[in-house]
A and B are shown apart, each in its own frame.
Chain A
């Protein structure tokens, strides 16, 4: 069983790496793994470090860097140290992200890129990765309805986050809620729009109903009208896909109208520990978030990860689901490259499918070679007074990823070990 290595390189590590490098070099017809003139293997980190998304994405950059630092301290990958080429997407998803992605792939010749947060940025760089045969590791939960041979999705799909959350809340244990009110970010915001489409379809199948729906502008702070609409609708639960700073306004408005978690709980899919820092505990306590990782997870890998994070960046820094995925995906790439004995995109991708026993902070993870998404364990957290989560429900086992849930995208499926994407009926989300 492979575990995350930490600490300095020992003499034994040096000997092992040297022996490996010597063995590789002595193989007949052995290829040089990195371009001539380079002494390190280059990987790209592409996140917004400035602009509106900086506060969330900077942590993902840090998670990637800390994993690279650890790997380098333990001897690198295939005998080479990793050099991170860090680029700023400047929160400009459709112009800056593709420009920087092109630079990373064409000029810097990176062997893999770890990056993006918003679906808009991922969608914008996807054609480039396909055209230039790059490999993008995307660490954030998303709306599904997408699969690319050149992207490894390490965040959760709707069937790993949204469906189990809805199952729980409509069950007796979760309060048998039947009247859902959906609130999300701008209708132009891809995640909210598609997620709501999927939620409605799934609730229908569960016999529950959507009694209302509102979308807020990105960054909107005034939610008085939204909260009044929720009160008028007689909803017994709110499903929120609101992202970013707007959550401050939303939860404040709920508290101002006297709505507590006991009366109408909020189930959010974009509020993690990092977002909770901006929210008053009195306004959010008791509400819920659905993720696959929480900082409060009690396992040795997570304790070590959280301790490392706080030691490196400060005790007031918190980890959350995308941060954990951003950290884990660097290790997955490393293990795959070592298994493949190469940094070649197709070989690494193939090897990723055979990594089945990696112990990440969220627990054991593995990639599904058919969809290039991760098997994940669902977790539902209730917000505590200390702005951490109490895990109230956890799926019994891994949930296989499904980027095209049949309930929303009938006929669609993907299998990259065979024919790739099979298109079903056109779906208007």
Chain B
């Protein structure tokens, strides 16, 4: 939806969203509040009624925001886990390849190292732009091809080969999960509900009969908090995009081990 927000630094995004909410609120407090107050003025004790409505609404809206924030966090955690699992599977494959005769074992390790380097240097920047990287596929195919070219001659080799193939399938599954996660996000309809809910929140507060300075202060604080919540969800949504995203640290660690191992 608003993918451009991931191209700007986090602090700027936070200021933009939170500040935007406060400014909208202040604007409404000056120009819309007098009109809206007129709608509820005829009722005696209008502030009590508005306060009651705001509390009821706040409960539902708070629940919605909380649940969405948790969903975004869960998305993030599961992608982080998938990335870690892929890196671990890659490392295990690298270890398994040492059991193969040379130069096949070395060739297998080279392809894995190349894959790992590709993920760190090329795939991750593409993922951050929301693009599913394709260069890994050819490297995985190359590895699989080499693996299948091996014909075990002893029962020991048969066991090792079977285990490596099993590990490869596990790795392949994790890789698919990571690629799937490039486009993982909160559905647009939920964002729609959250934004409409926030607007209704502001409208209700504008209906309070208060001095302008009180409106500015109390309403401003509430808007700031709403904006901060929005920023939090937006930043955590799309777990592979933006500054608050899953990093390639797991792969970097594996690559470091692979390079150290090449001595």
Contact = CB atoms under 8 A, between A and B. Distances in A.
Contact of B142 (A58, A277, A317): A58
Interface in A39-72: 49-51, 54-55, 58, 62, 69
A311 B135 CA distance: 22
Interface string B90-110: 000000000000010011001
Contacts of A316: 106, 262-263
Given A55-B107, A58-B114, A314 B259 contact: yes
Given A50-B145, A314-B113, A315-B262, A277 B106 contact: yes
The number of chain B residues touching the other chain, given as a range, is 10 to 19
Given A49-B139, A88-B138, A314 B145 contact: no
Contact of A314 (B107, B135, B139, B262): B262
B117 A313 contact: yes
Contact of A315 (B111, B141, B145, B263): B263
B200 to A, nearest CB: 41
Interface of B: 103, 106-107, 110-111, 113-114, 117, 121, 135, 138-139, 141-142, 145, 258-259, 262-263
Q: Which 6 pairs between the two chains have the least Cβ-Cβ distance? A: A314-B262, A278-B103, A315-B262, A316-B262, A49-B138, A88-B138
A315 B121 CA distance: 19
Contacts of A313: 110, 113-114, 117
Nearest to A276: B103
Interface of A: 49-51, 54-55, 58, 62, 69, 86, 88, 277-278, 311-317
A316 B203 CA distance: 67
A312 B262 CA distance: 11
Given A51-B145, A88-B138, A315-B262, 14 more contacts: A50-B138, A58-B110, A58-B142, A62-B114, A86-B135, A277-B103, A277-B106, A312-B117, A313-B110, A313-B114, A313-B117, A314-B258, A314-B259, A316-B263
16 contacts: A49-B138, A50-B138, A50-B141, A54-B142, A55-B107, A58-B114, A86-B138, A88-B138, A277-B103, A313-B114, A314-B258, A314-B262, A315-B263, A316-B262, A317-B110, A317-B262
A311 B117 CA distance: 12
A69 B135 CA distance: 16
A122 to B, nearest CB: 21
Contacts of A62: 114
B258 A49 contact: no
A317 B135 CA distance: 21
A314 B103 CA distance: 15
A62 B118 CA distance: 10
B142 to A, nearest CB: 5
A69 B120 CA distance: 13
Contacts of B138: 49-50, 86, 88
A425 to B, nearest CB: 45
